[in-house]
Amino acid sequence: MKKWSFGGSEPLSRRWPKDDSGADIPPAFFQHVGGSELDVEMAANLIEAYGIPVLRKPVLDGDLGRVIIGYSGPGVDLYVPETMLEDAQNIVSADIVEDGEDADDAR
């Protein structure tokens, strides 16, 4: 029986896609997320829920901020595999359609 888990339980190096030669696909800048750690996790988890791995990189002195106050004050840059960048952008920019609505009515 398969054990259920969240995407973050497996190391990023195993989830990151490889090219034909077995090398990692280069990361592409996806978006900058400012605010609290909750904001960062919500943005990253939305993309990871669709099977797209996300690399989180604190900007400026973000690592120091994480040690002192618990989160990166200047924010975090999110990177995704360059082959999945368009998919990630489409997920974030999608219109929310309530049950019973037609997708064309939401625009």
Q: pTM value?
A: 0.72
Q: Can you give the pLDDT of all 107 residues of the chain as single tens digits? A: 444 445 456 788 888 999 999 999 999 999 999 877 888 889 999 999 999 999 988 877 655 655 665 555 678 899 999 999 999 999 988 876 677 666 555 55
Q: How far apart are CA 51 and CA 22, in angstroms?
A: 19
Residue whose entry in the numeric block shows the structure tokens 């609290």: 36
Contact 87, 47 (CB under 8 A): no
* DSSP label at residue 40: H
Contact 81, 23 (CB under 8 A): no
